[in-house]
Amino acid sequence: MKLINIITLWYLGITLAALLVGGFFIYNKLEAEIDFELGMELTRQIDAYADRIENGVSADRLQYDKLEIVEIPYQLPIEELNLRDTLAYHDPMNQNEVQLKASKSYKINGRHYRISYYNLVVEAEDITETVVITMLAVFTIQLVFIGFFFRIISKKIFRPFHESLDAVQSFSFQKNEPLEFQKNGIVEFEKLNDFLERMTKKLLKDYRQIKEFSENLSHEIQTPSAIIRGKLEHLMNEEITAQQAELISSAYQNNERINRIVRSLGILAKLENEEFEAPETINLSAITEKILADLEELMAIRSIQITTKIDPMVWLDIHPYVAEVLLNNLIGNSIKHNMDKGKINLELNSQFLKIENTGSAPTMDPEEYLQRFKKSSDHPDSVGLGLAIVQQICKNYGFRLFYNFENNMHVIRILFR
């Protein structure tokens, strides 16, 4: 979820909670204030009618639906103001309504009157409706504010963050340039940008050192390795014993294995550092057919039967050399780890590449063979990097790799989409 959406949801949630709490207090305060003001108004009305009686107006002439004047025994004590809710007939509405009744007694001109005055009460439902409508109106205004202003302001505030994010996403070791950011005046974002600048400088420095080390190592190994190969080949042509021939052959094979490890690690490093150029749209079918033709003699030597189902024009966005490495490793593995008179089934279309081959059952979870230097003990000459290279290629180009052992067949599937 985008940061702006998270902020918006939190803001709305906090606002809604605040409105609910505020609505509760407003309801109670409004109800108390209405009751107080209504009580004060009724008290003023009763006092006014008492003044009129004291000024000589007959109590009988003042009687009407809201006013009730009753004469009580003079010797009774004066009644203080009494407020209570009661159900009384309301003539304009022609029905009984809940009303507030205020009553108080006065001793006027030797007579004792109890004066009661009624007024309609603002009911709880009316107060609730008013509060709810008010809160909804406030919440609607908040939504409008967020929709038209908050998001626009937030996008402007977060623009430096998005610029930094775009710069980080475009960072590449191939460009060999550290990130640089313009000042934006926001302390937090400038701290972030400063860290990113220092981090990329350190990354490029470490990358150059590691690259230089690996290139030097690869170069320095090749020279003595070539010399060793030449001398071993020379020894093989000399008069030697069977035991010497076995030792020379073992040394030769291990020397070749060192070369394969160095080459494989070099390819892995380039893949992980994304040093290959931008992908091209290539015909993967043609490359597959070419590699199969190159390996045809090797399969014939071991009497391996291959069945292919290749669509003629499978176009894929991938670097040509990387595509060759991918196919050479997969097809080469299906031959190397197969059995004599075994089988290989290869299927290629625009959706996937599938390679099946016979061979010994895996001694561990097939997924573990995708890791570096994980190999079967049945093949000690293998360097254990072929599938690791395939896995890294799939990561770089967004393919999905699956390796299973099904029906006594090793099955590798690569989904292109």
The pLDDT tens digits for 342-392 are 999 999 998 989 999 998 877 676 666 666 555 554 555 555 566 777 888
How many angstroms separate the CA atoms of 309 and 55, rounded? 118
* Ramachandran category for residue 373: left, alpha or beta (phi over 0 → left; psi -120 to 50 → alpha): left
Closest CA to 382 of 359, 412, 352: 359
Q: What is the pLDDT of residues 16-30, one digit of tens each?
A: 787 778 777 777 777
pTM for this structure? 0.48
Average pLDDT over residues 191-210: 82
Domains, the chain, ordered by start: 3-144 (no CATH), 188-270 (1.20.58), 277-415 (3.30.565.10)
Q: How many CB atoms lie within 10 A of CB 294?
A: 11
State percent of the chain over pLDDT 70.
76
Q: What sign does the dihedral 254-258-261-267 (CA atoms) show?
A: negative
Model pLDDT for residues 105-132, shown as the tens digit of each residue: 888 888 888 887 777 555 556 667 777 7
Q: Count the Cβ atoms, other than its own, within 10 Å of residue 410.
A: 23
Confidence of residue 198 (pLDDT cuts 50, 70, 90): confident
Distance CA 246, CA 233 (A): 13
Residue labelled with tokens 């006013």: 67
pLDDT per position as a tens digit, 257-293 = 777 666 766 666 676 666 666 678 889 899 899 989 9
What separation, in Å, do the N-terminal and C-terminal C-alpha atoms of the chain show?
Answer: 24
